Amino acid sequence: MRIKMLFLWLLCFFTTSVFAWGSVGHRLVAQIAYDQLTPQAKKQIDALTDVMFHSRYPDARFARASTWPDTIRQQAPQYSPWHFISLPIVKDNVTPPALENNNNVVWAIARAEKIVSDPSENNARRAKYLSFLVHFIGDIHQPLHCATLYDHQFLHGDRGGNDFPIASSVSNNLHWFWDEGVGLFASNPGQYQFHYYEIQTMANQWMKDYPRAYFTKQLQEQSPMQWAKDSHHIANTVVYQIQPNTKPSQTYIQNGQTIVREQVVLAGYRLADVLNRIFG
């Protein structure tokens, strides 16, 4: 039993690089969205999260819902493609494969929204897909969940930066580096994750820095495919402005962390808008 538990712990540790934003980023998106819900929407959402996550604190249940889809990826690999869409960034005349229309994060958001919106569905299924919806709207705002580089070094693609090596104490690959918020979400030594009050404080500060008025034009856009294209544009113009096996410059880190803050807050506002539209 101890060996099995050790194996599961190691498995979780070594697979974190595929998790968009990591748990901290997803919890921030969820907290921002939860704070923007209407009372009617919050009441219905609290009832659904109580089906899956038993806690007397509704916002804590909502935070758990935001990270649950990552915790089941090893046990339910059929959901893995739902976390990303590999929009190509092509260099050196490399020909990327054709993009699938289904079985990606854009398709998954639409599917989850449809199920959550259907009152004829049983509450257990609606709760499960509410968790998916919360998580995937976070995922689609992580630029490397919407882009894959194809060039002479990555003829078959770099898997959203997972195969793109960098020299950083935060991560050894570009995808993980951005999952960790370009260093913003990196845990202190020996610290597993940020505490609730830290998430709440960060969420409040970031909403103050980037109020809804800052995103007036972006919040008018309701198409998940356009959200993905916008994230892809960020990947092309910001994220991949670094060479493999090099150390991120201070300018790269500063620009990247600004992008992370903006994308996390925007994701939270968009998630709130979707949920308020569904639940009133």
Domain boundaries, the chain: 20-279
Spatial contact of 63 and 27, defined as CB atoms under 8 Å apart: yes
267: pLDDT strictly greater than 70: yes
Lowest pLDDT segment from 33-47, 120-134, 155-169, 190-204? 190-204
74 vs 148 pLDDT, higher one: 148
Sign of CA dihedral 219, 71, 84, 123: negative
**CATH assignment of 20-279, among 3.40.50.300, 3.30.360.10, 1.20.990.10, 1.10.575.10:** 1.10.575.10
Query: What's the confidence (pLDDT) of residue 20?
Result: 64
Query: What's the confidence (pLDDT) of residue 12?
Result: 37
> With pLDDT > 70 as the criterion, what percentage of the chain qualifies?
90
Query: What's the confidence (pLDDT) of residue 187?
Result: 63
Per-residue pLDDT, averaged over 187-204, amounts to 75
Q: Give kind and range of the element (H or E) at residue 220.
A: helix 216-220
Nearest Cα neighbor of 224 from 128, 118, 84, 119 is 84
3-41 pLDDT tens trace: 333 333 333 333 334 456 789 999 999 999 999 999 999
85-113 pLDDT tens trace: 999 999 999 999 998 888 999 999 999 99
Q: What is the mean pLDDT of the chain?
A: 91
Nearest Cα neighbor of 17 from 83, 112, 106, 89 is 83
Spatial contact of 161 and 173, defined as CB atoms under 8 Å apart: yes
The Cα angle at residue 194 between residues 189 and 195, in degrees rounded to 5? 125
200-226 pLDDT tens trace: 999 999 999 999 999 999 999 999 999
